Amino acid sequence: MHRRSIAKTFIIVLTVLLFAVAVFIVLHFKQRSLDSGTSGTDSAGAQGMDPSEESYSTVKVNGKTYKYRSNLRTVLFMGIDKSGDLTQQDYTGYGGQADSIILFIIDPDTKEIKMFSVSRDTMMDIKVYDTDGNYLTTINAQLALQYAYGDGMKRSSQLVKEDVSGLLFDIPIASYVTFDVGGVGPLTSAIGGVNVTVPEDDTWIDPSLTEGSSVNLSGSLAEAFVRQRNKEVLDGNNNRMQRQLVFMKALFAKIKASGDFSGLYNTMTTTADGKYLSDVSADDMKKFMTYTLSDTVYTSPGTVTRGDENAEFHTDFDKLYSMVLDLFYEEQ
C-alpha cells in the first residue's frame, strides 16, 4: 500500500513537472517569435507586425524603432496560366494557377515603382473554398494553387492577395491586377512588341533567345518567354521569374517611350478584354504608367527543394523580414 502511494505521488509530481516544462516552452517560443519577428512556421508571417492597425504602425528590431511608410501604394500582379478567358468556375481547383506573382510597391512622393517577385512554388497553408465561397479545408501546398481553389475570378485574386500579405508579415496590399498569360501575345502584338535583353540562354524555348541577345517580343514568342518553364531542372521557375521581370521592365520602358499613356492604356485594355480583371481604377493605372520603374528588383529569399511531385520553395523568413523592413519601413 505504501509502495502504491509512493508511485501515485511520483506520477502526479512527474505530470506537474512535464506540464510546467511544456508551458515554459510554449511561452518561451511565443516570446521569441514576437522578439524576432518570425512565427516559426513555413506558412505564416511574423507576429506583431500588422501595419494596417494603428498599434502596429511601428516595430522594434534590435533596439531600433521602425515606422511603416503609410504613403506607399501596393498592387499585386498575378499572371494566370490557364486556357481561355478568366471566367467564373463551376468546380473548385480549375481556375488556373498564379504562375507569376509580382508585388508593385508604388511611392507617390518619389513617383517610383519597385517590383518584388514571389515564387509561385512558395509553400504555404492554402485555403480551399468551393465556388460559392464556402470554406472546405486547408492544405500545405504551392502558393500558385491558391488561385485555383477560389472561383477563378475576384475571389481567387483576393485569396492570393491575402496570402501574399500574410507572407510579407501582414503588409497591407491595396489592389490587384490579374492577367491571363494567354493575353500576352495579342497585347504585345498590338503595341508593336517589347524589346528585351535575354538574361540567360533559353534557346530551348526559341533559337533566338541566346544569352545577352536583344530580341523584340510579340505574339507567341512573347507568351512563350513569360510562360515556359524548364521542368528538367529543379529551379526552372527561378529562370522564368527572371524572364518575367525582364519582360515587365521592357513593357514599362515601352509605355514610357510612347508618351501617349491614355492611348496605350486603351489599346492594352481593349486587346486584353476577357484576359484580365483588376480593382485598380483606370485613372490610377494611367497615373502609375507615368512613374519610373526602379532598376533594382527584389525576389523572395529562400531555397528550392524537390517535393514528392513538384518543386517546393521554402522561404527564409529572417532574410524576408529584413527586406520588408527596408522596403516598407523607415528607421526613426
Dump pLDDT digits (tens) for 174-232.
999 998 888 889 888 888 999 999 999 999 999 999 999 999 999 999 999 999 998 88
Residue 13 lies in a domain: no
Query: Could you give the 3-state DSSP secondary structure of residue 120?
Result: coil
pLDDT digits (tens, 9 = 90+) for 273-290: 677 888 998 889 888 888
Q: Do the Cβ atoms of 114 and 294 come closer than 8 Å?
A: yes
User: What is the predicted pLDDT for the residue at 89?
Assistant: 67
User: What is the predicted pLDDT for the residue at 252?
Assistant: 87
Residue 133 lies in a domain: yes
Mean pLDDT of the chain: 81
Q: Do the Cβ atoms of 138 and 132 come closer than 8 Å?
A: no
User: What is the predicted pLDDT for the residue at 87?
Assistant: 66
- List the single range of 28-37, 45-54, 68-77, 253-262 with lowest mean pLDDT: 28-37
Amino acid in the structure at residue 143? L
Residue 97 lies in a domain: yes
CA angle, 289 as apex, 100 and 257 as ends, to 5°? 105
User: What is the predicted pLDDT for the residue at 44?
Assistant: 40
Residue among 310, 114, 323, 316 nearest 229 (CA) = 310
Q: What is the pTM of this model?
A: 0.79
pLDDT at 302 over 90: yes
What is the average per-residue pLDDT within 129-158?
A: 90
Beta strands in the chain (DSSP E): 58-61, 64-68, 73-81, 97-107, 112-118, 123-129, 135-142, 175-180, 194-197, 214-217, 276-278, 292-299, 302-306, 311-315, 329-331
What is the average per-residue pLDDT within 155-181?
A: 93
pLDDT digits (tens, 9 = 90+) for 218-272: 999 999 999 999 888 888 899 999 999 999 999 888 888 877 777 777 777 777 7
Whole-number Å distance between alpha carbons of 294 and 243: 16
User: What is the predicted pLDDT for the residue at 3?
Assistant: 44
Query: Based on the structure, what is the number of domains in the chain?
Result: 1
Residue among 161, 159, 149 nearest 102 (CA) = 161
Residue 321 lies in a domain: yes
- How many residues in the chain? 332
Cell of 3: 509502495
User: What is the predicted pLDDT for the residue at 88?
Assistant: 67
Environment class of 162 (CB within 10 Å of its CB; exposed 0-12, middle 13-18, buried 19+): middle
Cell of 177: 491586377
Element (H, E) at 57: none
- List the single range of 24-38, 40-54, 242-256 with lowest mean pLDDT: 24-38
User: What is the predicted pLDDT for the residue at 134?
Assistant: 87
Tell me how crowded residue 58 is: count the other CB atoms within 10 A of its CB: 14
pLDDT at 123 over 80: yes
Residue 4 lies in a domain: no
User: What is the predicted pLDDT for the residue at 328?
Assistant: 96
User: What is the predicted pLDDT for the residue at 290?
Assistant: 87
User: What is the predicted pLDDT for the residue at 18?
Assistant: 37
Local confidence band at 26 (pLDDT 50, 70, 90 cut-offs): very low
CATH number at residue 221: 3.40.630.190
Cβ neighbours of residue 71 closer than 8 Å, sequence gap 6 or more: 107, 108, 109
Whole-number Å distance between alpha carbons of 225 and 247: 8
Q: Which residue has the higher pLDDT, 133 or 127?
A: 127
Residue 325 lies in a domain: yes
Residue 301 lies in a domain: yes
Residue among 303, 301, 306, 182 nearest 232 (CA) = 306
User: What is the predicted pLDDT for the residue at 32?
Assistant: 32
* H-only helix segments in 211-330: 219-227, 236-258, 261-271, 282-289, 317-328
Amino acid in the structure at residue 122? T
Within its chain, how far is the Cα of 278 from the centroid? 16
User: What is the predicted pLDDT for the residue at 210?
Assistant: 97
pLDDT at 27 over 70: no
What is the average per-residue pLDDT within 39-67?
A: 60
Domain that holds residue 138: 54-331
Residue 303 main-chain phi, psi, to 5 deg: -130, 150
What is the average per-residue pLDDT within 42-67?
A: 62
Whole-number Å distance between alpha carbons of 117 and 308: 25
Environment class of 320 (CB within 10 Å of its CB; exposed 0-12, middle 13-18, buried 19+): buried
Residue 12 lies in a domain: no
pLDDT at 30 over 70: no
